[in-house]
């Protein structure tokens, strides 16, 4: 929920079912502020795209209300909602030139010729495609076509821009480049953006806030930093970034701290984030970059023995997969600033981490 800010987009008790029995979206309550870049993130079938399509007007809610700028839009057809859309497959008209594609939504709105020409020119300048207006989409690269789709979504100054997996068809390098271009355009224009993706790295890079969806429910809504550093449940911890998990039982609970027994009999010190109480099972979560290799005895709250299973060289760091407690695998990330640490598969090492870097969460 937003505090002290009038919501620009609001989903109120939204439900969606296609068969009358199972809910694809379950009691969605979400507020987006004006000028915000909010990402709906989640695996396939989690309800994020359905939520976006209901906002766009391509799907109708089974229950609940959606408002845009304080006005209910549930009964409005898509073309009357003043919303720009960007799709993964670009959705450009192949028989039209780039200028004609950009001009199309302006002609539909019956704007004057001079206004249309000016807006089209400015639209091409925004996405750095000046001089390509006479070409057709088939004569452009995938990245250029996506820029055209973005320019067309912005050309009529919409109240809101929705983006559904817009970079999914691009290669990794171009996708990363377009992430920053979209982010910079958002900052420059101040337009409200709601973005759908299943790529957690993309969401972390671009968003003001992220709504993590699973099984039709928002699991957590927070800034990228908070989602990564303070996940509220095991699903979010596992879905956002790489994560190590250990099973155990809570044996001591003292405020925000707890101690957890593990299969090998060793107690692990952790932060109690989402636990039911003493005697209850929990899942411990530790990020790979928070784990130290061969720490000095007593320097960290938790130090355990592990066996090196695999070493992968990744340029700036080594990814080290180790086995602990016989049946649990842990991943460490060791920066390549110190090449003097000798490691080989099968070697026994100690690994460790601090209490504040270990989250006790719900059972995964």
CATH architecture of 242-361: Beta Barrel (2.40)
Q: What's the number of CA atoms in the CB half-sphere (13 Å) around residue 344?
A: 1
In Å, how far are 169, 291, 307 from 360, measured between CA atoms? 38, 16, 24
What was the pLDDT predicted at 1?
46
- Domain locations along the chain: 9-234, 242-361
Query: What tens digit of pLDDT does each residue of 291-342 get?
Result: 999 999 999 999 999 999 999 988 888 899 999 887 678 899 988 876 667 7
Element (H, E) at 128: none
Residue 28: closest CA among 161, 165, 214, 152: 214
Rounded to whole angstroms, how far apart are CA atoms 22 and 1?
26
Q: Locate the DSSP E strands across 199-327.
A: 209-214, 217-222, 244-254, 257-261, 267-272, 281-286, 292-293, 302-313, 317-324
CATH of domain 9-234: 3.40.50.300
Q: Which positions of the chain have pLDDT values less than 70? A: 1-5, 327, 338-340
Residue 91 φ/ψ, nearest 5 degrees? 55, 40
What was the pLDDT predicted at 155?
93
pTM: 0.91
What was the pLDDT predicted at 169?
78
* Bridge partners (DSSP) listed for residue 303: 352
Q: Could you tell me what percentage of the chain is helix, strand and coil, using 3-state DSSP and rounding each to the nearest 5? A: 25, 35, 40
Q: Provide the token pair at 215.
A: 């099984």
Rounded to whole angstroms, how far apart are CA atoms 55 and 78?
9
Residue 258: closest CA among 273, 248, 271, 267: 271
CA 111 to chain centre: 37
- Reading across the β-sheet that carries 63-68, which strands appear in turn? 23-32, 9-17, 63-68, 71-72
DSSP 107-125: HHTT--HHHHHHHHHHHHH
Rg of the chain's alpha carbons, rounded to an integer? 25
Q: Provide the token pair at 115.
A: 């206004």
DSSP 302-349: EEEEEEEEEEEE-SSEEEEEEEETTTEEEEEEEETT-TT----TT-EE
């Amino acid at each position: 929920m937003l505090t002290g800010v009038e919501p620009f987009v609001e989903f109120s008790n939204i439900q969606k079912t296609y068969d009358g029995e199972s809910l694809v979206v379950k009691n969605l309550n979400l507020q987006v502020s004006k000028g915000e870049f909010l990402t709906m993130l989640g695996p396939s079938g989690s309800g994020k795209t359905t939520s976006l399509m209901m906002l766009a007007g391509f799907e109708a809610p089974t229950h609940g209300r959606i408002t845009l700028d304080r006005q209910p839009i549930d009964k409005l057809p898509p073309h009357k909602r003043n919303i720009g859309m960007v799709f993964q497959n670009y959705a450009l008209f192949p028989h039209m030139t780039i200028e004609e594609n950009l001009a199309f939504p302006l002609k539909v709105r019956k704007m004057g010729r001079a206004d249309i020409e000016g807006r089209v020119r400015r639209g091409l300048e925004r996405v750095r495609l000046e001089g390509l207006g006479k070409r057709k989409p088939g004569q452009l690269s995938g990245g250029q076509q996506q820029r055209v789709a973005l320019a067309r979504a912005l050309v009529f100054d919409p109240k809101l821009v929705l983006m559904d997996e817009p970079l999914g068809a691009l290669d990794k390098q171009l996708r990363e480049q377009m992430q920053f271009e979209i982010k910079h355009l958002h900052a420059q224009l101040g337009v409200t953006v709601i973005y759908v993706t299943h790529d957690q790295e993309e969401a972390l890079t671009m968003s003001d806030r992220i709504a993590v969806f699973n099984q039709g429910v928002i699991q957590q809504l927070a800034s990228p930093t908070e989602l990564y550093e303070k996940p509220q449940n095991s699903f979010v911890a596992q879905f956002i970034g790489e994560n190590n998990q250990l099973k155990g039982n809570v044996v001591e609970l003292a405020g925000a701290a707890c101690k957890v027994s593990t299969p090998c009999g060793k107690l692990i010190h952790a932060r109690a984030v989402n636990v039911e109480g003493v005697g209850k099972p929990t899942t411990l979560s530790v990020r790979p970059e928070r784990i130290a290799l061969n720490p000095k005895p007593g320097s960290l709250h938790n130090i355990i023995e592990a066996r090196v299973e695999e070493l992968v060289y990744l340029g700036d760091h080594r990814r080290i997969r180790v086995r602990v407690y016989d049946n649990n695998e842990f991943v460490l990330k060791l920066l390549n600033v110190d090449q003097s640490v000798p490691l080989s598969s099968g070697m026994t090492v100690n690994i460790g981490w601090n209490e504040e870097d270990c989250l006790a969460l719900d059972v995964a």
